[in-house]
Amino acid sequence: MNLSVKLITILTGCLLSANALFAFNRQDSLRGGNGRGRDWWDVQHYNLQFSIDTTSKTVSGRNIMQIRVIDKEKDSLQIDLQQPMVLDSVLIADHQKVNFIREGNVYWLDFRFARLRPQEYYTITLYYHGKPREAIKPPWDGGFIWTKDSLGNPWNSVACQGLGASSWWPCKDYQGDEPDYGMVLYSAQFEPDEVNQIMNGQANIDSIRIEVLGMPELRLSGVWEVKNPINTYNVTFYHGNYLSWADTFQGKKGILNLSYNPLRYHEAKAKEQFKQVKQMLQAFEYWFGPYPFYEDGYKIVEAPFLGMEHQSAIAYGNKYQMGYQGKDRSGTGVGLLFDFIIVHESGHEWFGNSITAADIADNWIHEGFTTYSETLFAEYWFGKEKAFEYTRGEWKNITNDRNVIGTYGVNDAGSGDKYDKGSALVHTIRLLMNDDEKFRAMLHKMNDTFYHRQITTKQMEDFIISFSGLHLKPIFEQYLRSTMIPELQWRQKGKKLQYRFVDVTDGFELPVSVRTNGKLQALRTTAEWQTINLPSPSASPDFPASFLIRLKHVD
């Protein structure tokens, strides 16, 4: 008699019980923490005006920042602007000069004279200039991209996730504080007429000559308004010889304005490839609820790098190929059925741009859910079987190098496993819920509850545990705060099969199913030895291979 023991929901991962030790310094704490220069004030709005000189590769401008004092002021206010960029001068209320000193990548503004009052609003104007860091390998090792397209036209942009927006403009460079009422972006450039510009949000003024930043010969290439809160690293621009056309999508909140922006000579390819945008929106509004930024529209813009989730202006650099640069990350063939960059980077509009981790140590919230959004897209269009095959295929990319959650307060994003291991966690929760409609309802409620908010892992855990009604705390510990690989040990004595987990967190358990004579028997599997009776002493357990557990036969 054939016995097949199959693990249905063991999707755990992975190394030791604590993160590897890393050396962090004061600059890391200033950048990553909500310290005394940040915790007493809240950004309300940014008005960023900047000019770009592609010949000298420099940027100059000003940021008019509106803030609200939320607590008794400290003696100074922290503004982030990374070297070699330079803060030139600071004014409060448009006229009073503010003294400041530099400490590495941070400027301390001296507000002891100002007597700022709690719950009051103030305007701070920051003038700056400099030669921003150039990207080495964007978007991973980011910065400014100064390049040309294949016809020799200037093609420039910036991608600075991880590196930070303060690499090119002065701001509060901290995910935990987005401008509550969005921002306005004014940009000017010394470029020929055939080079145009695209930025976040909606264009208000286009291609008019006015005096900008005291330089009357400068052409104002655009004024763009973002009405919603936005992560500072998402603020971007694209300069290139773009062709743009508009479209609309009839979505859950009404008509969503769409904009497609390829390089001019890629029009034919783009019109075919960008058909997937509406497919993506249809699938994700089904799974997650309404697109989070109807007021700002949705744009996809061809970029001189692979891609980035720039809010309302998705960077696309996948060269009009299916998959990930023409390859399938899952190794199953399913990943070649869609354009990875269109799907993944757009998924961040829900997870990352709307629901934002307050500390980048919790960026698995961005990447885990967004990686699983690829699976949900595949399921919507190609069926559940192919989708599950795809997500299981991605688990081979898990490296188990360190904890998924990084170190808090020091600008540490944790392990790259936040993508595929984070996705495995979401899939595990779904299977444990064993109710796809309830799982979808949870994703809708999640996006409604945390709409345009900055949250912590604890808040996300508490929400999922409450909604699902499941005892998931040990699962979160295993996936996010541990690097142990669960080992399923088993032994057979006559007709008795015994099994248990080792290398798991306290209270960890996942169900195992045993198939006998075509019937499934659900088993509760924990760190304690469990025993079931086999049909006969000759029945031999068959454990399928898995990237996420170790199997060991013991005596």
- Supply the pLDDT for residue 495: 86
Residues in the chain, total = 555
pLDDT tier, 546 (very low <50, low <70, confident <90, very high otherwise):
low
Higher pLDDT, 210 or 168: 168
Kindly state whether residues 461 and 366 are assigned to the same domain. yes
How far is residue 352 from each of residues 130, 323, 437, measured CA to CA in Å?
A: 29, 22, 24
Q: Whole domain around residue 443: which residue ranges? A: 356-480
Q: Are residues 434 and 511 in the same domain?
A: no
Structure confidence at residue 543 (pLDDT): 63
Please name the residue that has the structure tokens 């803060």: 87
182 alpha-carbon distance from chain centroid = 19
What 3-state DSSP class applies to 505?
A: coil
Rounded to an integer, what is the distance from CA 228 to the centroid of its chain?
A: 17
pLDDT level of residue 216 (50, 70, 90 thresholds): very low
Within-domain flag for 442: yes
The answer as to whether 396 is a domain residue is yes
Predicted pLDDT at 14: 31
Taking 60 as the threshold, does the pLDDT of residue 190 lie above it? no
pLDDT (0 to 100) of residue 267: 98
Where among 447, 480, 513 does a domain terminate? 480
For 267, the enclosing helix (H) or strand (E) is helix 267-273
At residue 210, the pLDDT reads 44
CATH number (domain holding residue 412)? 1.10.390.10
Produce one character per residue of 217-247: b if its CB has 16 or more CB atoms within 10 Å, e if not. Answer: ebbbbbbbbbbbbbbbbbbbbbbbbbbeeee
Q: What pLDDT score does 311 carry?
A: 98
What is the predicted pLDDT for the residue at 238? 96
Q: What is the largest CA-CA distance in the chain?
A: 90
Q: Render pLDDT for 337-393 as a digit per residue (tens, 0 to 9).
A: 999 999 999 999 999 999 999 999 999 999 999 999 999 999 999 999 999 999 999
Tell me, yes or no, whether 425 and 507 share the same domain: no
- Whether residues 502 and 394 share a domain: the answer is no
Mean pLDDT of 388-413: 96
Residue 465 domain flag? yes
Whole-angstrom distance, CA of residue 432 vs CA of residue 428:
6
Contact 122, 88 (CB under 8 A): no
User: Does residue 110 lie within any of the structural domains?
Assistant: no
Query: 75: which DSSP letter?
Result: S
* Same domain assignment for residues 472 and 420: yes
527: CATH? 2.60.40
* Domain C-terminal end among 416, 446, 480: 480
**H or E element at residue 369:** helix 364-382
Domain finish residue from 430, 456, 480: 480
pLDDT at 298 over 70: yes
Residue 211 reports pLDDT greater than 50: no
Q: Which of 188-197, 282-291, 375-384, 424-433 has the lowest mean pLDDT?
A: 188-197
User: Do 527 and 543 have their domain in common?
Assistant: yes
396 with 469, same domain: the answer is yes
| Structure confidence at residue 388 (pLDDT) | 96
pLDDT at 428: 92
Of all residues in the chain, what percent carry a pLDDT higher than 70? Answer: 88
For the segment 39-70, what is each residue's pLDDT rounded down to a tens digit?
999 999 999 999 999 889 999 999 999 999 99
Residue 451 has what pLDDT?
98
SS3 label, residue 435: coil
| Per-residue pLDDT at 19 | 45
Is the pLDDT score of 71 beyond 70?
A: yes
Secondary structure in 3-state letters for 54-70: CCCCEEEEEEEEEEEEC
Is residue 173 included in any domain, yes or no?
A: no
Instruction: Say how many C-beta atoms besides its own lie within 10 A of residue 257's C-beta.
Output: 16
Is residue 368 domain-resident?
Answer: yes
Same domain, 360 and 474: yes
The gap between the terminal CA atoms of the chain, to the nearest Å, is 23
Averaged confidence pLDDT in the chain: 90
| Radius of gyration, alpha carbons of the chain | 26
Strands 3-6 and 510-516, how do they pair? antiparallel
What is the pLDDT at residue 13? 32
Q: Judge whether 506 lies within some domain.
A: yes
- Mark whether 385 and 422 lie in a shared domain: yes
Confirm whether 152 is domain-assigned: no
Question: Rounded distance, CA 456 to CA 469, Å?
Answer: 20
Nearest to 28 by CA among 231, 159, 174: 174
If asked whether residues 499 and 415 sit together in one domain, one would say no
Query: By the 8 A CB rule, do 207 and 330 touch?
Result: no
For residue 245, name the pLDDT band (cuts at 50, 70, 90). Answer: very high
Nearest to 317 by CA among 397, 230, 238: 238
The two tokens of residue 267 are: 């029009």
Are residues 491 and 474 located together in one domain of the fold?
no
Q: How many domains does the chain have?
A: 2
Higher pLDDT among residues 489 and 188, named by residue: 489
Mean local confidence (pLDDT), 415-426: 97
| Domain identity same for 362 and 429 | yes
Answer yes or no: is pLDDT of 446 > 90.
yes
Smallest CA-to-CA distance from 33 within 468, 412, 509 is with 412
- Residue 520: the pLDDT is 67
422 vs 16, which has greater pLDDT? 422
On the question of pLDDT at 8 being above 60, the answer is: no
- Check pLDDT > 80 for residue 515: no
